[in-house]
């Protein structure tokens, strides 16, 4: 059997002496997958507002500030159509200069109202849909449904008023994005390598007297220094905040003997991490060790189950039922024993949990990249352990991207 090469995280810079991320190949792969998804659907076109779908099809990005404003959109028509992008103000001119894979005429200014700040009665949506409809007619697909991923109600109603049949494109796009190319995996691995380093920075300062928000500030600073293009969130949870898990951070002062866990969510060239680690501060109790041991056992059982051809139900079954760790049902416990795809988005396919996977499993395939998360409350009633590993599925097995030590409870700055 041919040995698989190691997964590379070679650095940020392109060089002449190593094969690293090939961005032209990455762009061709992504638009090819999107076109295949469109041509296999009932749709004549995809009209995309989801920031990650826009990046996947047009290979453009203008920063997170406009990510939730619903004013950027892209159109892809079937059977050879090239992506068209409506973007924010001067970004259009920038794309024409620096994004040559998009035809210059396919870069257009767009403005729909900034999530209702400009009322629909101003007519921006009406005129935009007239323009889109004319392009659909020109492409010969105006009589076919238009697939839309996410949409403002007013825009949807206007599309319907102008006679367009709207269907769901998000399912097709998520299916397109689920199998990662060699370049996507390399970017995901590089993003994880950056977090490896941040965790070393965290354990160096994780001592009594430091606040959760100071850890968050440190992590943000180091990630941006290392080349992150977006720090989406840093969860910092310590002491009596560990149980129940609040999914945020505060200004709490960390104290001797605390259990503390962190989740670092950022992206490098668009590709994300979701990467929990748990530490004890100075020392650890038997209760804290026991909770960590259980969380690790559940994690290892899940990883051991992952392989090509396995259903996500088989992975979910190795995790405890919600009632076994103090919750009334799986909905109340959702996100604690959990798996989710990683890519341009934080929560892609497959989503793995006892809530949805037992009755609606997805087959694991080579090229999937996802995070697995476990959580175990401690018997002391306040502490808890949280572990997360990012895995790449190949025909030859599973590779772990998250390298910071997590087999045993890590005691930072032990007394």
- The model's pTM is 0.96
Residue 346: is its pLDDT beyond 60? Answer: yes
**Mean pLDDT over each residue of the chain, to the nearest integer:** 96
Could you tell me which residues come within 8 angstroms of residue 274 by beta carbon, excluding any fewer than 6 positions away?
263, 265, 340, 342, 346, 371, 373, 388, 390
Looking at per-residue pLDDT, the higher value among 293 and 71 belongs to: 293
Residue 337: is its pLDDT beyond 90? Answer: yes
% of the chain exceeding 90 in pLDDT: 92
Tell me if 23-177 shares its fold with 182-412: no
State pLDDT tens for residues 216-261: 999 999 999 999 999 999 999 999 999 999 999 999 999 999 999 9
Q: Specify the pairing of strand 146-148 against strand 338-341.
A: unpaired
CATH architecture of 23-177: 3-Layer(aba) Sandwich (3.40)
- In degrees rounded to 5, what are phi and psi of residue 245? -70, 120
Residue 4's pLDDT is: 65
Cα 254 to Cα 242: distance, rounded to the nearest angstrom:
12
Residue 324: is its pLDDT beyond 80? Answer: yes
State pLDDT tens for residues 359-370: 999 999 999 999
Residue 16's pLDDT is: 83
Q: How far is CA 248 from CA 77, 242, 277, 298, 384, in A?
A: 41, 10, 15, 24, 15
120 — pLDDT class (breaks 50, 70, 90)? very high
Residue 3's pLDDT is: 58
CATH number of 182-412, picked from 3.50.50.60, 1.10.10.2160, 3.90.230.10, 3.40.50.300:
3.90.230.10
Residue 279's pLDDT is: 98
State pLDDT tens for residues 190-225: 999 999 999 999 999 999 999 999 999 999 999 999
Q: Which residues pair with 411 in a beta bridge?
A: 280
Residue 1's pLDDT is: 41
Cα 74 to Cα 341: distance, rounded to the nearest angstrom:
24
| Arithmetic mean of pLDDT, 318-345 | 97
Residue 7's pLDDT is: 85
Cα 404 to Cα 208: distance, rounded to the nearest angstrom:
22
Residue 63: is its pLDDT beyond 50? Answer: yes
Residue 293's pLDDT is: 98
User: What angle in degrees, to the nearest 10, is found between the helix axes of 153-161 and 124-139?
Assistant: 50
State pLDDT tens for residues 92-109: 999 999 999 999 999 999
Query: Domain extents for the chain?
Result: 23-177, 182-412
């Amino acid at each position: 059997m041919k040995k698989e090469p190691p997964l590379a995280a070679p650095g940020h810079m392109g060089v002449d002496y190593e094969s690293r991320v090939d961005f032209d190949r990455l762009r061709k792969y992504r638009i090819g997958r999107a076109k295949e998804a469109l041509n296999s659907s009932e749709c004549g076109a995809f009209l995309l507002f989801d920031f990650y779908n826009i990046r996947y099809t047009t290979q453009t990005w203008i920063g997170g500030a406009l990510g939730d404003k619903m004013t950027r959109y892209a159109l892809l028509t079937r059977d050879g159509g090239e992506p068209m992008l409506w973007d924010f103000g001067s970004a259009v001119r920038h794309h024409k200069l620096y994004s040559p894979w998009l035809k210059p005429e396919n870069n257009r200014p767009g403005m729909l109202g900034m999530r209702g700040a400009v009322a629909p009665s101003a007519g921006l949506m009406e005129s935009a849909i007239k323009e889109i409809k004319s392009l659909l007619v020109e492409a010969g697909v105006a009589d076919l449904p238009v697939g839309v991923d996410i949409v403002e109600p007013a825009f949807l109603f206007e599309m319907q008023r102008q006679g367009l049949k709207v269907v769901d494109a998000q399912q097709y796009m998520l299916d397109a994005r689920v199998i990662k190319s060699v370049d996507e995996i390399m970017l995901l691995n590089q993003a994880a390598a950056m977090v490896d380093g941040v965790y070393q920075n965290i354990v160096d300062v994780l001592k009594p007297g430091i606040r959760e928000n100071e850890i968050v500030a440190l992590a943000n600073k180091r990630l941006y220094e290392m080349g992150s293009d977006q720090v989406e969130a840093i969860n910092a949870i310590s002491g009596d905040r560990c149980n129940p898990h609040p999914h945020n951070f505060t200004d709490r002062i960390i104290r001797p003997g605390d259990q503390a866990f962190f989740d670092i969510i950022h992206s490098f060239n668009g590709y994300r991490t979701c990467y929990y680690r748990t530490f004890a501060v100075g020392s650890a109790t038997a209760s804290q060790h026991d909770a960590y041991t259980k969380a690790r056992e559940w994690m290892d059982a899940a990883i051991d189950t992952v392989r090509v051809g396995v259903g996500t139900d088989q992975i979910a079954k190795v995790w405890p039922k919600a009632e076994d760790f103090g919750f009334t049902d799986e909905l109340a416990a959702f996100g604690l024993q959990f798996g989710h795809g990683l890519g341009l988005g934080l929560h892609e396919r497959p989503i793995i949990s006892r809530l949805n996977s037992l009755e609606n499993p997805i087959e694991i395939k080579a090229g999937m990249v996802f995070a697995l998360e476990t959580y175990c409350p401690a018997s002391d009633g306040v502490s808890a352990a949280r572990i997360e590993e990012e895995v790449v599925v190949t025909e030859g097995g599973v590779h772990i991207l998250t390298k910071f030590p997590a087999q045993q409870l890590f005691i930072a700055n032990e007394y």
